[in-house]
A and B are shown apart, each in its own frame.
Chain A
Amino acid sequence: MNKGAKRGLAVYAVFVYAFLHVPLLILAVFSFNSSRFSVWQGFSLQWYRAVAADPNLIEASLNSLLIAIAATVAATILGTLAAYGLWKRSSAWLSGSMYLSLVTPEIVTGVSLLALFQWIFRFAHLRLGMHTVILAHVGFSLAYVVVVVLARLRGFDRTLEEAALDLGATEFGAFWRVTLPYLAPAIAAAAMLAFTVSIDDYVITSLVAGVDSQTLPMVIYAMARRGVNPALNAVSTLVVFGLGMLIMLSERFRKA
């Protein structure tokens, strides 16, 4: 690629990044607004104090993070394995159900999962709670992982694995040493997507959550009924800032 095209690409990328980040900037700015309304009045930290004083908001944020991390780890591992399995030999009903899980409207997934759980709970002494939320999240984020990882596997040269097997590697050894490293970028991308769909889900979560598992989106949607409160901007800013710092730090560590 020549220099001009490269520069063009960079300029284009800057524009797209701006498109993605402008709303983020706006909400961060308004988290420091002294007015309750989205009309700028002056600088204030009152909404951050409001967050610190609201145990429900803090607990919901922690629940959300916990659920998203658990669901991401589980969905990424299972999804990667499944993508590999499907790549080895396709399975019509499994790929079909992946498609279906993407196609199902959220409310339908939520209502039917709720019905299923409640039916099961009649026989087992269980209640809705974190476990049902995490199970539901793993379920709906799996398809995202499989689709992304499989897309990369489609470009993988089967002979590389065969060569490893010829050289005496076990089937699992070939997967672990040869295929998995090749998949790393796709796995990272898939994990990010899984985390994103999990941390932001409202419809399904609100239906399968129990007494102990209110998440941040649930609190936010419930609040929106009364008109949003800039404390929510403050929480969002804190979450993004915290996770952003985490990413920066992990980059530093990797380089060091």
Chain B
Amino acid sequence: MNRRTFLIGAAAAVACGRAARLNVFNWSDYVSPDTIPNFEREFGIRVRYGTYESVPEMLAKVMSGNSGWDVIFPSAEYIQPMRDMGLLARLRHDWLPNLSMLDRQFQKPPWDPGLDWSVPYMHGATGIVYQKSLGWTPRAWSDLWDARLAGKLTMLDDPPEVFAACLKTLGYSLNSADPGELKAAQQRAIAQKPLVRAYLNAEVRDQLVAGDVSAAQAWAVTAAQAIAAAPEKLAFAFPSEGFPRYADNVAILRESSRQEAAHHFIAYLLRPQVAAAIVETTHTAACNGAAQAFLPEALRSDPVLYPPADILARGEWFAPQSAAGQRLRDRLWTEIKT
């Protein structure tokens, strides 16, 4: 950067003056408060930590290849697309000696079997949160079509999630790109709409705690937070037809000129104690199996975050959609909402 760019504005000068050594772009609330300071102290690397709201937002910025970020946290279904676009750097396993800390199911994840481009970070599932006072227990997605829930039911405001629930009630894969199956799923969603109070994401948490909502399609993270606040009132079900699973991964951008520092950072995140501290603050499920040993009992045995293997086996990972499949889904979704 030459001198003149410093003078583009007083503001820019102030911002540029603080030289950052590693730029980490992550979801909000995805590390513990001392994760970054401890790393800075130990490695003498200064970290600039930025947050994004959605992967498309992050993608729009890093797509040009000169965004300035080094380490990012894409969802599983974006790993292959980002690799195809040439955005990711190949990981050097000799700099990541502790990859073996990962839980066995994440040693060879379907989206990146060799862990060549990404390291699984946190994972979760989508299921149903419900009020125990309901008098009956929703166990399957199809229970969310029950007229008793009218006006007290919320679904996620996320097309892949709603399609997943509808497709699962019909016995199809949640990644279906088949027009017939998707049309049938759309009909299910339209049939359900009169019962739906709203399509909400994280905002549903407070309404579950307050009792405004009786049953909700929710991410496990949101559910765990709500249940922790009102354990006597709320419970979670992993739908019997199967459910979506998601994982966020840490990866390094190819544009990064600080590959070694970035690898240090990932290796640091892989340390069981570090991962356990993050789980304790964020109440998510770490892909780091060795971290389990450092978790308090209540968290380790949390049935929402760490369900038994036979339940998890019913889960299905989201996969990237083809352009045509995406377009059809978008069109059908618009019709659901009109």
Query: Is A39 touching B12 in the complex (CB atoms < 8 A)?
Result: no
Contact of B51 among A63, A126, A127, A214 (CB under 8 A): A214
Contact of A206 among B20, B53, B201, B222 (CB under 8 A): B53
The interface residues of chain A lying within 8 Å CB-to-CB of B201 are 225
Query: Is B225 touching A56 in the complex (CB atoms < 8 A)?
Result: no
Closest residue of chain B to A121 (Cβ to Cβ) is B66
The interface residues of chain A lying within 8 Å CB-to-CB of B27 are 222, 225-226
The interface residues of chain B lying within 8 Å CB-to-CB of A228 are 202
- Is A7 located at the chain interface by the 8 A CB criterion? no
18 contacts between A and B (CB under 8 A): A37-B206, A56-B51, A121-B64, A121-B66, A125-B2, A127-B68, A129-B15, A131-B12, A134-B12, A207-B60, A210-B67, A211-B68, A213-B15, A222-B27, A222-B51, A222-B53, A223-B29, A225-B53
Query: Is A131 touching B210 in the complex (CB atoms < 8 A)?
Result: no
The interface residues of chain B lying within 8 Å CB-to-CB of A225 are 27-28, 53-54, 201-202
Closest residue of chain A to B70 (Cβ to Cβ) is A211
Determine chain B's interface SS by DSSP, over half rule. Answer: mixed
Query: Is A219 touching B64 in the complex (CB atoms < 8 A)?
Result: no
Query: Is B205 touching A212 in the complex (CB atoms < 8 A)?
Result: no
Taking Cβ atoms with an 8 Å cutoff, the residues of A that contact B are 35-39, 53-54, 56, 63, 66-67, 70, 111, 114, 118, 121-122, 125-131, 134, 206-207, 210-214, 218-219, 221-229
Q: Report the separation of the CA atoms of residues A66 and B9 in the bound assembly, to the nearest whole angstrom.
A: 11
Closest residue of chain B to A54 (Cβ to Cβ) is B33
Q: Report the separation of the CA atoms of residues A223 and B30 in the bound assembly, to the nearest whole angstrom.
A: 10
Closest residue of chain B to A211 (Cβ to Cβ) is B68
Query: Is A130 touching B9 in the complex (CB atoms < 8 A)?
Result: yes
User: Which positions 34-77 of chain B face chain A at CB distance < 8 Å?
Assistant: 48-54, 57, 60-61, 64, 66-69
Known A121-B64, A130-B12, A213-B15; 7 more pairs at CB < 8 Å: A38-B206, A56-B49, A67-B11, A70-B11, A207-B60, A212-B20, A225-B201
Contact of B28 among A36, A125, A213, A222 (CB under 8 A): A222
Query: Is B11 touching A134 in the complex (CB atoms < 8 A)?
Result: yes
The interface residues of chain A lying within 8 Å CB-to-CB of B51 are 56, 214, 218-219, 222-223
- Is B336 located at the chain interface by the 8 A CB criterion? no
Query: Is B16 touching A227 in the complex (CB atoms < 8 A)?
Result: no
- Is B335 located at the chain interface by the 8 A CB criterion? no
Contact of A227 among B20, B49, B225 (CB under 8 A): B225
- Is B220 located at the chain interface by the 8 A CB criterion? no
Q: How far is the CB of A102 from chain B (nearest CB, A)?
A: 23
A53-B33, A222-B52 are contacts. A211–B69 as well, Cβ < 8 Å? yes
Q: Report the separation of the CA atoms of residues A42 and B27 in the bound assembly, to the nearest whole angstrom.
A: 30
A37-B209, A212-B15 are contacts. A226–B53 as well, Cβ < 8 Å? no
List the 5 closest A-B pairs by CB distance, nearest first. A222-B28, A222-B51, A212-B15, A118-B64, A227-B202
The interface residues of chain A lying within 8 Å CB-to-CB of B54 are 225
The interface residues of chain A lying within 8 Å CB-to-CB of B221 are 226
